[in-house]
Amino acid sequence: MNIIAIDPGTHESAYVICDYGTLKPIDKGKIPNAELLEQLPEMIMLNSIQYVGIEYMQSYGMGVGKETFETCYFIGRMTERILRQTAIKEIIPIYRNEEKIGTVGNMRANDTAIRHYLIDTFAEHDFKTGKGTKSNPDWFYGFSKDMWQAYAQAYILKLKVEGKM
């Protein structure tokens, strides 16, 4: 059984597919939204995905711009495609504040603090970057940019499925 977590963006989105039991990454990437939207049903079927988590937007009382609304629209398009074209019955929303509390335990946590938490929790030998090398890859080999956030969402997704959040 596997899970997928998606960190949506205005033009590109990051995703991570993990083994549900170990949270070991199986696949990851950051691809154009149109490409992800097209590939999602097949990705879910071929990887035996049981749970889907998508980072949802939440208001902090500040003004937002066009890009925020475009991302919201894309989240809706992904949700509709997944629910209509796969056996998935529910998308589990993941909110940024849940990532911060569920990892670092502090609402002031930033991406760097979350990344360090993930490295401390999952890295097996490269405790600096969690990536290792080509000849000796570690847990997060090949990760970059928003893939870290997608992995944090996968971690929170598992906690939510297990009723721990």
pLDDT of residue 118: 98
Residues 113-140: pLDDT tens digits? 999 999 999 999 999 999 999 999 999 9
Specify the pTM. Answer: 0.95
SS3 124: coil
Single-letter amino acid, residue 76? G
pLDDT at 62: 78
Q: What share of the chain is helix, strand, coil (3-state, %, to 5)?
A: 40, 20, 35
43-95 pLDDT, tens digit each: 999 999 999 999 998 877 777 788 889 999 999 999 999 999 999 999 999 99
Query: In what side-by-side order are the strands of the sheet with 91-94?
Result: 25-32, 12-19, 2-7, 49-55, 91-94
- Does the domain at 2-161 match CATH 3.30.420.10? Answer given as yes
